[in-house]
Chains A and B, each alone.
Chain A
Amino acid sequence: MLPLAESALLLVAALGALYFQVSLPGKLVTEKDYREAAEALANEGKEGDVVLLYPWWTERARLFVPKAIPVVGYLGSDGDPLSAYARIWVLAQPRLPRSDLSGFERRFVPGRAPLGPPRPFGNLRLSLYRNGLHRPIAFSAVSEYASARVYLEQAGGARVDCPFDGKAHRCPGNETLHVAPEWHEMLYQPRFCLWMHPPGGSRRLVAEFPQARWGERLTLAAGIVGELAFHHEPELTPARVVVEQMASGQRLLEVTIPPGREGIVQDTRPAAGAGRDTVGLRLWVQSENPALRETCVELFSDRAATP
């Protein structure tokens, strides 16, 4: 009896496997599907839009999506608030094996509102949402890095300027000691952030933004780049990233990134200077042992979107 059951099991498995192999090509997206979806995006996309991929790794879409619209897809991007964007185009492949679009929507939809029904393009599905989590940016250190004053500060307060060469503020002597916005990975997420490598010892790498516009809240986000973040050898030391008010020296925000901490470490506070248009901000980074402390920093002030 058991061998007959085995026989039935094998036959069922074989038929299932055969169905899987034969049907798989029909569940994939053709180049024509992508081109048609891209055409819709080109015609209807607006500034402030973003394309979010589901599943997150379906990055073949990058070949086709108009360059003006950023494409977001990384491990964990389903839960990204995408607060910099007013509208989100979800480009999904619901027919892929193990695809779970309804599960994705349970995570994604809260705080968002659909702006029309989903549109199929072959096995692609394109849906537009208004992003209720959108928060316009009032000030961004990344955007305004060129106007910053950058210098190395010794323990005694002595300063060495890092002059701006049109692309980056470069400190003398060491190529890694520069400040410029760059693409880096933090826990698989692409971030466009300010590269600020700590100089080592008690020295600080400082960037001053004398005319930062206040929004409703101020956020500092920093992390160690790529795989370096995972390292936790005993000789490594935490990286400290601090924001102070230039005029008063008051500490506004601070994050500490210990060895082994992956991803972004963030600190947020309400903008204390409400009523004023601008404030001078001083951002600095320091780590006793600079080895493997490749730090990337975002400092921004945002506000709620007007309906």
Chain B
Amino acid sequence: MSTGEPKSFDPPAPRDSLIAALLFVASMAALFATQASVGFVRDESMYFVAAESYARWFEQLLHAPAEALTDNAIVRAFDINHEHPALMKMLFGLSHLVFHDRLGVLPHAAAFRLPAFAVASLIPATIYLFGRSMYGGKAALWAAISFLLVPRQFFNAHLACFDVPIAAFWLLTAYTFLRAQREPRFWLWCGLWFGAALATKHNGWFLPFVLAPFALGRGWLLSRGDSEARAWLSRFVGLYAAVGVFFAVLWIAEGPGRFVQGFTPLSPASALLALLLVGTIAILRRLRRASPSVFRSVAPIGAMAILGPAIFYLHWPYLWHHPIERAAWYFDFHATHVHYAWFYLGKLLREPPFPLDYVVVKTALTVPVTIFLPMALGLAAVAARAAASLWRKWRPLLPSFEEAFVAANAVTPILIISHPNVPHFGGVKHWFPAMTFLAILGGACVWRAAHALLLALRPHWPALSEWGVALPMFMLLFVPPAIATARNHPYGTSYYSELAGGVPGAAILGMQRQFWSNNVTGVLGWLNEHAPPNARIWLHEVTGLAFQEYQANGMLRRDLQSAAGPWDAQIAVYQYHQEFREHEMNIWQAFGTRTPMTGLYLDETPQVIVYQRE
């Protein structure tokens, strides 16, 4: 009988793989069944256009490869949205090309979003396999199901965006990292999934900082008493340290601009990269011969170091002709990202320093309490055991390597975003990678509690089975978030938990009511019914591209025209943001009325307000 306490990290049995596959299919089905009503968020409308552009380049590659491979053709196709790597957008575009353009079996938007559903569905399946390896099947099942029962995560899983995919690839990298510690070839998978993470979103670049200390620490412990393995492990560390120092010296000596310009095939920087590549392979080969277990501990890091950047470069044609210059622009763009206004506890956050408590408070207020509480207790249990183990008599409580690893992955994305100078807009999506690991810790907590209840009840009901306790408990914990998800869908960015007092409670607390403009779907029906023929409509915050998407997907009448502002419109659709109040005043001024025609009011909170010119 498993107890919710950690066990050794076992590979999955065929039955587990089957359950994981079922979770994948069920998630796909749930996402597909609920996608049609999900509006097009601002970024997504841009990604659709980029995806189509990338897909056209693939067609060109088939028909005129020599021309397609020129920098001119690549820039023509890939210049659009080169703020983000291309992997997911390529998948969106190819899916649209095949399932909409060629086969005609999927509607326009659904065809773009299909790869997003698939990647998102990897999360419950992987959480199950991951959690089962540590805490057993029941804990894992709770963890897996809980991920999509967080309304904001459920909403984001529908989008052809990158926030859920990066969470999926972060999780897969970590999972294969742990399996690589005991099983052959998984170091290679770890490198490949890391490459997918880098090819999806810049969050992926933080992964080595979480994984490397565990790899090196484990390697150090395993090489105790094995001088040869210890020596090769030290050389492995020394190689990376030396290359890092040399790069730092070059950066400081030349300055960022000259460093980037000087990064040519025969430059010192290129030589350092070559040294890293050759050195990694050579050292890992020797380490494998000296000690397979020490090799397995650090091989995933070697694979990540080589395969990650290689996949990042190779998957993105935009980098092919000017890798350093364009990659440098990409990193600089994210390092100096603008700050958007964000309403938090009655104050508009516009510029750093942002409150240190923001991420924790926002998570507490946006994850249903029956999921948040197990997550918090699960993480607290690991932290408490780690603290207690500092005393000799409680040394056995020391968290396992795997538990500490999961806790580190749960905390790191939150710590990164919590930094007061990191942009704080975007709700909770920027720390989704943490939520998959918190779900695993939550599952451990729930099953630990259920098991304790079972032990307490068994003397009275000897026939009581594990499922006899687990199932009612799971149901009790899942019914409230299921109700909330059903009531909230498809307005995911507006959801607030019971702790906040729901959507109205959060409005009283002074929290951001919505973002990304997709809630406009709540009034499209009214517009289709009431707007005069050929009316000029201003959809505030909705991009022109999204306006076209609503028409292309049959959600908005095709005769309606997009207006540039209230002065230009017969009907204005205002999105309530605290920083946009002036826009609503402009509508009052232009239309000569302060009385709306209709609106989207979620549990009384104004989200989208419609005015018609008098």
Contact = CB atoms under 8 A, between A and B. Distances in A.
B323 interface: no
B476 A11 contact: yes
Contacts of A18: 476, 479-480
B504 A96 contact: yes
B602 to A, nearest CB: 10
Interface stretch (A81-89, A177-185, A250-258, A279-287): A177-185
A113 interface: no
B599 to A, nearest CB: 7
Contact of B585 (A9, A93, A184, A230): A184
Given A16-B498, A75-B346, A97-B505, A6 B582 contact: no
Interface string B483-495: 1100100000000
Given A14-B480, A18-B479, A183-B585, A59 B341 contact: no
Contact of B480 (A20, A98, A183): A20
A20 B498 contact: yes
A190 B585 contact: yes
A62 B603 contact: no
A185 B609 contact: no
A63 B502 contact: no
A185 B585 contact: yes
Interface in A13-61: 13-18, 20-22, 24, 28-29, 55, 57-60
A264 to B, nearest CB: 14
A137 B4 CA distance: 72
A75 to B, nearest CB: 7
Contact of A98 (B377, B479, B509): B509
Contacts of A28: 603-604
A115 interface: no
B369 interface: yes
Contacts of B348: 230
A182 B589 CA distance: 6
Contacts of B604: 28-29, 58, 60, 93, 96
A204 to B, nearest CB: 25
Interface size class on chain A is: 35 or more
B350 interface: yes
A20 B510 CA distance: 20
A121 interface: no
Contacts of A67: 593, 595
Contacts of A57: 507-508, 605-606
B483 A21 contact: yes
Given A10-B446, A75-B346, A184-B582, A98 B599 contact: no
A55 B508 contact: yes
Contacts of B370: 10, 13-14, 17
Q: By CB atoms of chain B within 10 A, which of A67, A75, A227 has the most?
A: A227
Contacts of A63: 595-599
A71 interface: yes
A20 B483 CA distance: 10
- Say whether chain B's binding surface is mostly helix, strand, loop, or mixed: helix
A17 B369 contact: yes
Contacts of A29: 604
A3 interface: yes
B450 interface: yes
B449 A6 contact: yes
B473 interface: yes
Interface string B89-126: 00000000000000000000000000000000000000
Interface string B516-542: 000000000000000000000000000
Interface string B439-483: 000000110111111001000000000000000010011011101
Interface in B570-614: 578-579, 581-582, 584-586, 588-589, 593-599, 601, 603-606, 609
A11 B373 CA distance: 11
A211 interface: no
Contacts of A154: none
Contacts of A9: 373, 377, 449
Interface in A230-267: 230
A55 B511 CA distance: 14
A4 B455 CA distance: 9
A185 to B, nearest CB: 4
Interface in B275-291: none
Contacts of B451: 3
A285 B594 CA distance: 28
B501 interface: yes
A7 B595 contact: no
B295 to A, nearest CB: 38
A183 B588 contact: yes
A55 to B, nearest CB: 5
B374 interface: yes
A188 interface: yes
A28 B451 CA distance: 39
Contacts of B487: 21
Interface in B17-49: none
A99 interface: yes
B317 interface: no
A59 B451 CA distance: 48
B501 A97 contact: yes
A76 B589 CA distance: 22
Interface string B369-389: 110011001000000000000
A10 B480 contact: no
B588 A17 contact: no
A21 B510 contact: no
Contacts of A93: 604
A13 to B, nearest CB: 5
A75 B476 contact: no
Contacts of A20: 480, 498, 502
A226 interface: yes
B368 interface: yes
Nearest to B497: A17
Contacts of B446: 10
Nearest to A66: B595
A17 B448 contact: no
Nearest to B483: A21
Contact of A14 (B477, B501, B601): B477
A225 interface: yes
A229 to B, nearest CB: 10
Contacts of A74: 581
Q: By CB atoms of chain A within 10 A, which of B346, B502, B509 has the most?
A: B502
A93 B603 CA distance: 12
Nearest to A189: B581
Given A60-B604, A75-B510, A6 B377 contact: yes
Contacts of A71: 594
Contacts of A16: 369, 498
Contact of B476 (A15, A58, A98): A15
A302 B559 CA distance: 51
Contacts of A60: 599, 601, 604, 606
A163 B589 CA distance: 21
A188 B603 CA distance: 22
A182 B588 CA distance: 9
Interface string A108-132: 0000000000000000000000000
Q: By CB atoms of chain A within 10 A, which of B4, B452, B487, B598 has the most?
A: B452
18 contacts: A3-B449, A3-B451, A4-B449, A9-B373, A14-B479, A17-B481, A28-B603, A29-B604, A55-B504, A67-B595, A74-B581, A75-B346, A96-B505, A183-B585, A185-B585, A227-B579, A227-B582, A230-B350
Given A6-B445, A182-B589, 7 more contacts: A7-B450, A7-B453, A7-B473, A10-B370, A18-B479, A21-B483, A185-B581
